[in-house]
């Protein structure tokens, strides 16, 4: 069965809670939509505020304080927010794809490096640690164990102030005082001990999670999202005997879960505001993102100079512009920058959604404003 771009678009929006928002606990929403890219910390809240109609800044922060949600290095070596239950799955895939090993210096064969990483985990299990504490700990360990680490690894890590040892997926970011309501996110790291025993099972589980959150998808889409080789993703997909198969307008084979439903291409798609680095723009092969953004508009959302994907908004289900916020004194202003002229009805609906979002993002502001650039 061949699927149109609009059918894929509406199906994606449904599964991401962008057609009809989710309700209920935030961990359930995160499990449904997949890992939230989080190197820009405010994106996590925006992602959830856009997808769960009951979410507020307080409920987002509370979920992290209770460690129902955790944030740390994950798939593709990038910081993501996931549920605590799912963190071991993402950590296993990160390790299997070498995304967790920043130094490609045969680190896995270096007994001294393995010993140091184990010592670091014990050090960070006691309490959240700052980068400077990890650096001091590593230097003391090296002095106490002369000759244990290879010269290449020693030189590599010293040149990077030992950052790779605390950006492991075994360490989550957790504030030293337990408070999460900050603009920049936590700067200290805590050991997250839960692990999965079988990497192959973890990969298979997250491939099915990708289909549930972003499908129907091709092997190259799955590989892009999880940081796998396309051949690996295709091999695992072909081992599943229960998957549905479709084709897209490019003739690619797409896979989907047997109990997943497609959404009608004509379903109404309300305006939505997406955060910086939104997952819907990153879950597919770069050649096939047209189910959410046109090739023309990609260059206006993606900044190659600093590798940023700007906050964007959807009109009719597709990216149609970018947005930004500014808080001065007691006024919070959200500015919309459309890529094309909007109809009066679309502009009115988008403004209403922007007002909802800015109120949620700046609850302490006495007044809010929405401006269309």
Do residues 228 and 210 make contact, with C-beta atoms less than 8 angstroms apart?
Answer: no
Q: CB-based contacts of 12: which residues, under 8 Å, 6+ apart?
A: 18, 214, 280, 291, 292
Rg for the chain (alpha carbons), in Å?
22
Do residues 75 and 97 make contact, with C-beta atoms less than 8 angstroms apart?
Answer: yes
215 inside domain = no
Of 187, 208, 230, the residue at which a domain comes to its end is: 187
**179 and 286: one domain?**
no
- The total number of structural domains in the chain stands at 2
Residues of the chain with pLDDT under 70: 98-108
Q: What's the pLDDT at 101?
A: 55
**172 and 53: one domain?**
yes
Report the distance separating Cα 211 and Cα 152, nearest Å. Answer: 41
Q: What's the pLDDT at 353?
A: 97
Measured in degrees and rounded to the nearest 5, phi and psi for residue 190 equal -130, 145
Q: Using alpha carbons only, what angle is made at residue 346 by residues 345 and 347, rounded to the nearest 5 degrees? A: 90
Q: What's the pLDDT at 105?
A: 52
Closest listed residue to residue 263, CA positions, set 12, 1, 2? 12
Q: Using alpha carbons only, what angle is made at residue 21 by residues 255 and 267, rounded to the nearest 5 degrees? A: 65
**52 and 172: one domain?**
yes
Token digits for 8?
A: 């894929």
**74 and 179: one domain?**
yes
**40 and 170: one domain?**
yes
Would you tell me the crossing angle of helices 57-65 and 42-51 to the nearest 10 degrees? Answer: 120
Q: CB-based contacts of 140: which residues, under 8 Å, 6+ apart?
A: none
Closest listed residue to residue 201, CA positions, set 236, 169, 229? 236
Do residues 80 and 90 make contact, with C-beta atoms less than 8 angstroms apart?
Answer: yes
CB atoms within 10 A of CB 229: 11
Do residues 170 and 92 make contact, with C-beta atoms less than 8 angstroms apart?
Answer: no
The secondary structure of 183-227 as a DSSP string is: SS----EEE-----S-HHHHHHHHHHHHHHHH-SB-HHHHHHHHT
Residue that is written with structure tokens 């959410």 in the block? 292
The predicted model scores a pTM of: 0.92
Provide the β-strand partners of residue 336: 323, 372
338 inside domain = yes
Q: Is 168 helix (H, G, I), strand (E, B) or coil?
A: coil
Q: What is the CATH number of the domain that holds 365?
A: 3.30.300
Of 187, 215, 249, the residue at which a domain comes to its end is: 187
Q: What's the pLDDT at 99?
A: 59
Do residues 123 and 138 make contact, with C-beta atoms less than 8 angstroms apart?
Answer: no
**172 and 293: one domain?**
no
Q: Counting every residue, how long is the chain? A: 373
Q: Is 318 helix (H, G, I), strand (E, B) or coil?
A: strand
Q: What's the pLDDT at 26?
A: 98
Do residues 192 and 124 make contact, with C-beta atoms less than 8 angstroms apart?
Answer: no
Largest CA distance in the chain: 71
251 inside domain = no
pLDDT digits over 120-152, tens only?
A: 999 999 899 999 999 999 999 999 999 888 888
245 inside domain = no
Report the distance separating Cα 261 and Cα 254, nearest Å. Answer: 14
Output the CA–CA distances (angstroms, integers) from residue 113 to 110, 118, 128, 154, 241, in the order listed: 5, 9, 22, 9, 41
Q: Is 333 helix (H, G, I), strand (E, B) or coil?
A: strand
95 inside domain = yes
228 inside domain = no
Element (H, E) at 322: strand 318-328
**279 and 153: one domain?**
no
**43 and 183: one domain?**
yes
**40 and 183: one domain?**
yes
pLDDT digits over 190-249, tens only?
A: 998 888 989 999 999 999 999 999 999 999 999 999 999 999 999 999 999 999 999 999
Q: Which domain holds residue 65?
A: 36-187
Of 135, 156, 187, the residue at which a domain comes to its end is: 187
Report the distance separating Cα 332 and Cα 373, nearest Å. Answer: 16
Token digits for 333?
A: 């202003």
Q: What's the pLDDT at 102?
A: 47
298 inside domain = yes
């Amino acid at each position: 069965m061949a699927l149109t771009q609009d059918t894929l678009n509406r199906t994606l929006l449904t599964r991401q809670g962008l057609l009809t928002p989710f309700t209920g606990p935030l961990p359930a929403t995160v499990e449904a939509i997949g890992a939230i890219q989080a190197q820009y910390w405010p994106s996590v809240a925006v992602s959830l505020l856009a997808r769960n109609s009951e979410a507020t800044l307080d409920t987002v922060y509370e979920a992290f304080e209770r460690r129902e949600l955790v944030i740390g290095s994950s798939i593709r070596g990038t910081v993501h927010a996931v549920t605590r239950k799912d963190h071991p799955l993402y950590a296993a895939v990160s390790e299997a794809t070498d995304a967790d090993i920043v130094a490609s210096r045969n680190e896995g064969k270096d007994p001294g490096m393995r010993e140091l990483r184990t010592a670091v985990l014990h050090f960070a299990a006691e309490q959240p640690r700052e980068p400077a504490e990890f650096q001091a700990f590593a230097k003391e360990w090296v002095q106490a164990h002369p000759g244990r680490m290879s010269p290449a690894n020693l030189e590599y890590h010293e040149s990077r102030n030992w950052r790779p040892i605390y950006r492991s997926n075994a360490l989550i970011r957790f504030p030293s005082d337990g408070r999460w309501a900050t603009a920049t996110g936590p700067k200290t790291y805590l050991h997250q001990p839960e692990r999965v025993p079988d990497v192959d099972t973890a990969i298979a589980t997250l491939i099915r999670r990708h289909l549930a959150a972003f499908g129907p998808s091709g092997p190259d889409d799955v590989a892009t999202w999880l940081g796998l080789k396309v051949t690996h993703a295709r091999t695992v997909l072909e081992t599943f005997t229960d998957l549905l198969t479709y084709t897209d307008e490019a003739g690619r084979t797409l896979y989907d879960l047997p109990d997943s439903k497609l959404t009608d291409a004509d379903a109404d798609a309300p305006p939505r505001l997406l955060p910086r680095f939104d997952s819907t723009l990153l879950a597919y092969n770069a050649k096939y993102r047209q189910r959410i953004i046109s090739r023309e508009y990609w260059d206006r959302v993606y900044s190659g100079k600093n590798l940023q994907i700007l906050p964007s908004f959807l009109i009719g289900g597709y990216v149609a512009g970018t947005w930004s916020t500014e808080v001065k004194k007691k006024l919070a202003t959200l500015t919309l920058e459309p890529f094309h002229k909007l109809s009066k009805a679309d502009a009115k609906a988008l403004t209403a959604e922007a007002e909802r979002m800015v109120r949620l993002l700046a609850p302490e502001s006495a007044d809010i404003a929405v401006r269309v650039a």
